[in-house]
Structure 1
Amino acid sequence: MDVYLIRHTTPLIEKGFIYGRTDVSLTVDFPEEKALVLKQLPATVDRVYSSPSDRCLQLAKAIATDCKVERDLYELDFGEWEGKTWDTVDRAVSEVWMNDFVNLSPPNGESMLQMQSRVMKFWNSLAEQPHRSVAIVTHGGVIRIILAHHRLIALKDVFDIKVSFAEVFKLQLSRP
């Protein structure tokens, strides 16, 4: 199965804003970024999956109006840090988390290991589907987890994988 992993387009946010699950607007460049994404996709795909976040749904609906929303495609849950900026959260707590984000979570949020578990649950169930091609509109963290799995990269090294806004990655997913 051909799988097109697509990161949402550029959000309209201030530098350092924490927005894993927080809905944010997109920049005025959305139409141009959308057009660039669409050029990289086949004329039709069998199914489009999307994170529930508005920033993903807008692009997913431009690909197919009947996209399927999947909660497992959400970005990392930053818990109490959602909607804040990095310079306003407790620095000591955030440094402890940054040193072991794989196992630790932000206050009332989720760890990268927890996120990986839900993302891989979706990924493994996708392999059982009869589709020839799918598009998945999601977030940088989700795409990094899938690419790390595909490339055999340790979860602690996921941020070494560069994923730009509106970037498309094509993978082959084998059926079990």
Structure 2
Amino acid sequence: MSNSLKTWLMSGREKKIMLLRHGELLRETEERRFIGQTDLPLSHMGRRQAKYWCKCLSDVPIAHIISSDLSRCMESARILCAARPIIVKPLARLREINLGGWDGMTFRRVRERWPDAFGQRGTEMARFRPPGGESFLDLQQRVVPAFEQAVDQAAGNLLMVAHAGVNRMILCHLLGMPPENLFRIAQGCGAMNLIDRQTGGFRIQAINLLPPF
């Protein structure tokens, strides 16, 4: 993390929001899958990524830590606050997008079994719902109010641990970007996004800061 961002985090002028994506997941294979609310644990690398941010933020005052209630986020959050007298608050509204019947399936299998629906998802990314699941617009309508309420209720700096889809929908909203453009925002495993809350609204200071390994 650059010295300028560290200085910003340590300054007391605005409420700081640290929006983190959980660390890398433990997977059986490298084949690409739809992973939404399937509850997968962190890998060794995922825990290492969380420990990196724990060290980086060790001097930063944090008043509240809120996390998706899925285990990959809760574990990341608990690692981050291991040395702090803070209890992580789980929040189901911060869960990743519900992919319904596609959750946990490989891209290859979905493409073979539902070729038309798979193609529709590619052309209608924001509005498409897999069977029994959510669209990204549904996700945004779920997570943005949860984000804003958490910020309003926090008495000081807030650390929020969530998922790639969740973070992208929050950032799209703050940037005024159409949800269709969500994948223009990178969110690697262990990615940190830094936001401040000022009188006039939110300002994004950094997106997709990654551990250097």
What is the TM-score with the length of structure 2 in the denominator? 0.77
Match of 1:19 among 27, 35, 60: 35
Deviation at 1:124, TM superposition (A): 2.1
1:170 alignment partner in structure 2: 194
1:84 alignment partner in structure 2: 105
Amino acid at match of 1:18: F
1:30 partnered with 2:46:
yes
Q: CA RMSD in A?
A: 1.7
Percent identity over paired residues = 25
2:70 alignment partner in structure 1: 53
What is the TM-score with the length of structure 1 in the denominator? 0.92
2:21 alignment partner in structure 1: 7
Check whether the contact 1:48–1:63 (CA below 8 A) recurs between aligned residues. no
In 1, Cα distance between the equivalents of 2:47 and 2:140? 31
In 2, Cα distance between the equivalents of 1:41 and 1:153? 29
Deviation at 1:141, TM superposition (A): 0.7
Structure with the larger RCO, 1 or 2 (CA within 8 Å, 6+ apart): 1
Amino acid at match of 2:56: Q
2:164 alignment partner in structure 1: 140
SS at match of 1:104: coil
Which entry has the higher C-alpha Rg, 1 or 2? Answer: 2
2:119 alignment partner in structure 1: 95
